[in-house]
Structure 1
Amino acid sequence: MKKAALHNLGCKVNAYETEAMQEILERSGYEIVPFHEKADVYVINTCTVTNMADRKSRQMLHRARKMNPDAVVVAAGCYVQAKAGEVDDCVDIVIGNNRKHELAGILEEYWRSEGEKKEEMADIIHAPAYEEMSLTRTGEHTRAYIKVQDGCNQFCSYCIIPYARGRVRSRRMEDVVSEVEALARQGYREVVLTGIHLSSYGIDLGGGEDLLALIRAVHGVDGICRIRLGSLEPRIVTEEFAGALAALPKICPHFHLSLQSGCDATLRRMNRRYTAQEYYEKCQLLRAHFDHPALTTDVIVGFPGETEEEFEESLAFVDKVDFYETHIFKYSRREGTKAAAMADQVPEQVKTARSARMIALGRRKQQAYEDRLIGTTVEVLMEEAVEREDGVYQVGHTKEYVKVGQKTTENLSNQLINVEIENRLQIIR
């Protein structure tokens, strides 16, 4: 029996695909071993969202080759799709996006050809259909991420992902529901609907299938107690959308709305399709329909042309919106994007200083949101036991995705428990 090891880089969509490829190999008779062990096949699902992601992808490919010089090294995913010409000689098989479901067959062809290097790449920009992959289990035991959509039509000026993932392709609703039903039978209580551009779900399907229809279909699956949504574009949040979500009791009031900048001039250069005021109104809509929802976001600092005044405007906007969590990224120049050719690239030391200020603000906001929970009782989906200095805690997440612990040695895994938060120690970072 051949041994295979897999390693994932990047987003939740990549993680889902890596687990799906693992199941494909298991069904084909491979023994799955940890990535640090000697294997006959190493599969690295690569990422290209930043220059650092490219570098990490190359490093992991070289690490695999060093662990077993005789192994078959497979490079899959976004980095090789976008940068096929840069893939190192240490790689034996290159598999682009939309061909990952063929992994087992591609490996068999490789063995039959006695080691002839293979490159299996689709024309991703014109890929006509969603690549169907599914899971019967996930690395987590209580929460399952479900990929429902691939590709993006937005073409933000800083982003390489449309070139690596192609245009929007949506998974058939019946396939999503079937997978959720199977996971519910396995005991999963929570699902997270995710995609490259989740808000675009259904635009290629027609027939009234959109994200809200999908959510309603998943909501009807018995055994699933919570539905969490991946990153959303602000414009999907309308009065109808927010009201419909609020009417579904399984929906978690935890919404990640991509911001990127709180300055209108910067948003225009980014080719983001909203203003700061429009974004703020969407946040207020969610707050009108949900009691203290956890709003989280992404912010890029140091985008080309960002002046000190524009940064201050963005910082003040983040302060005004009052996010629970803010994920800060320093702008990373990506060849092949419009932003890479823009004038007035911001020096690295300036980006670092701006990032530090935004991170400090984000931490204060997170602390304030969490402190509000002290003295309240919250529902927690328990996940694991954590040993701390003052004893053993059973730890899980609230619907708002705040990590909370209850001091007890009783095994509460995969149970929904009402926890009274008496002090700060019960909020786990």
Structure 2
Amino acid sequence: MLRASLHTIGCRLNQAETAVLADQLRSQGYELVEFGQPSDLFVLNTCSVTASAEADCRNLVRRMRRASPDAFIAVTGCYAQTGLEVLRKMGEVDLIVGTQHKMELPRYITSLVRRPVPEVLHTRTIARDDFTVEGVGDYEETRANLKVQDGCNFMCSFCLIPFARGHERSRRLDDLLREAEGLVTRGHREVVITGVNVGRYCSDGLTLLDVVESLERIPGVNRIRISSIEPTTISDALLERMAGPSKLCPYLHVPLQSGDDDVLRAMNRRYTA
């Protein structure tokens, strides 16, 4: 049986995506092994939010190659989108998959024969339509991440994410509920709603509150959490739901960024101190 190892650098959304890719690879017959163990296939889901994160990505690629000289190395994630030319020059990489094709990565691995030059699946244009995700996240913990949204339109002056992940778009409600039910079947009792800008969820006129209420109706989902959320996107209705009898945990991770209005304006944030 072919062995595959996956590793994530970065945010909870990256973790959610890696878990789904792991599920897809398992369904294709791969044995999943811990990162650093000898493998036939390495998949690295990368981050580009800081220069340090990008350096970590390159270092991990080299580490993977040293651990398994003959392995096939696939790199995806935000750095695969924004750092294509740097990754292309790395002799250790066999496949580079940008944002548009990321969640379909396993189907593009038709052979584990090493490439003399990296194969590249990359487009500057990223779809803006509502989306679905194939599979159910593969987690060992009781708590599982659930991707509901991607991309961002806020264009903060310091942030690369709109270029790495594209414009904001939302996951179809029926599809995210399908995965949530699959997570319950696998024994997960706590779901963490995640995305780039989750408070901007909007699919067929539905909002983040509709997502929460729909998840609450799934038997076996005992707790619901919301990952990092922009302060200007937290609705009164969402807070009222959180304050009342609900499976939604009374906790929010809110990035305030600065307490100085001049700094906030320079950052192109949408609020004042």
Does the pair score TM above 0.5? yes
Task: State whether structure 2 residue 242 is matched by structure 1 residue 259.
Answer: no
Distance, in Å, in 2 between the alignment partners of 1:78 and 1:248 is: 38
Report the AA paired with residue 120 of structure 1.
L
Task: State whether structure 2 residue 267 is matched by structure 1 residue 270.
Answer: yes
Does the 8 Å CA contact 2:47/2:53 hold for their aligned counterparts?
Answer: yes
Normalization by structure 1: what TM-score? 0.60
Question: In the alignment, what sits opposite 1:236?
Answer: 233
* Change in CA separation of 1:126 and 1:173 when aligned onto 2, cut-off 3 Å: closer
* Change in CA separation of 1:238 and 1:209 when aligned onto 2, cut-off 3 Å: closer
Question: In the alignment, what sits opposite 1:108?
Answer: 110
Distance, in Å, in 2 between the alignment partners of 1:185 and 1:248 is: 25
Question: In the alignment, what sits opposite 1:120?
Answer: 121
Task: State whether structure 2 residue 152 is matched by structure 1 residue 155.
Answer: no
Does the 8 Å CA contact 1:151/1:166 hold for their aligned counterparts?
Answer: yes
* Change in CA separation of 1:238 and 1:44 when aligned onto 2, cut-off 3 Å: closer
Does the 8 Å CA contact 2:78/2:164 hold for their aligned counterparts?
Answer: yes
Q: How many residues align?
A: 271
Q: Between Structure 1 and Structure 2, whose CA radius of gyration is higher? A: 1
* Change in CA separation of 1:215 and 1:166 when aligned onto 2, cut-off 3 Å: same
Question: In the alignment, what sits opposite 2:20?
Answer: 20
1:136 deviates by 5.0
Identity %: 38
Report the AA paired with residue 80 of structure 1.
A
Report the AA paired with residue 92 of structure 2.
C
Structure 2 residue matching 1:256: 3-state secondary structure: coil
Question: In the alignment, what sits opposite 2:213?
Answer: 216
Does the 8 Å CA contact 1:189/1:226 hold for their aligned counterparts?
Answer: yes
For 1:350-374, what per-residue CA distance to the aligned partner results, in whole angstroms no more than 9, with x for missing partners? xxxxxxxxxxxxxxxxxxxxxxxxx
For 1:335-364, what per-residue CA distance to the aligned partner results, in whole angstroms no more than 9, with x for missing partners? xxxxxxxxxxxxxxxxxxxxxxxxxxxxxx
Normalization by structure 2: what TM-score? 0.92
Report the AA paired with residue 250 of structure 2.
P
Distance, in Å, in 1 between the alignment partners of 2:79 and 2:136 is: 23
* Change in CA separation of 1:130 and 1:163 when aligned onto 2, cut-off 3 Å: same
Point out the more displaced range, 125-134 or 31-40. 125-134
1:117 deviates by 3.3
* Change in CA separation of 1:128 and 1:110 when aligned onto 2, cut-off 3 Å: farther
Q: How does 1:9-408 map to 2 (within 5 A)?
A: 9-87=9-87, 88-108=90-110, 111=113, 117-130=118-131, 132-135=133-136, 137-140=138-141, 142-202=142-202, 205-206=203-204, 208-276=205-273
1:5 deviates by 1.1
Report the AA paired with residue 149 of structure 1.
Q
Report the AA paired with residue 174 of structure 1.
D
Question: In the alignment, what sits opposite 1:349?
Answer: none
1:68 deviates by 1.8
* Change in CA separation of 1:110 and 1:122 when aligned onto 2, cut-off 3 Å: farther
Distance, in Å, in 1 between the alignment partners of 2:240 and 2:34 is: 45
Q: Which has the higher contact order (CA 8 A, sep 6+)?
A: 2
Does the 8 Å CA contact 2:7/2:35 hold for their aligned counterparts?
Answer: yes
1:129 deviates by 4.5
1:18 deviates by 1.1
Does the 8 Å CA contact 1:125/1:163 hold for their aligned counterparts?
Answer: no
Q: Greater strand percent: which structure? A: 1
Structure 2 residue matching 1:257: 3-state secondary structure: coil
Distance, in Å, in 2 between the alignment partners of 1:185 and 1:92 is: 36
Distance, in Å, in 1 between the alignment partners of 2:73 and 2:227 is: 31
Distance, in Å, in 2 between the alignment partners of 1:77 and 1:152 is: 15
For 1:247-291, what per-residue CA distance to the aligned partner results, in whole angstroms no more than 9, with x for missing partners? 342111111111000111111000000111xxxxxxxxxxxxxxx
1:116 deviates by 6.4
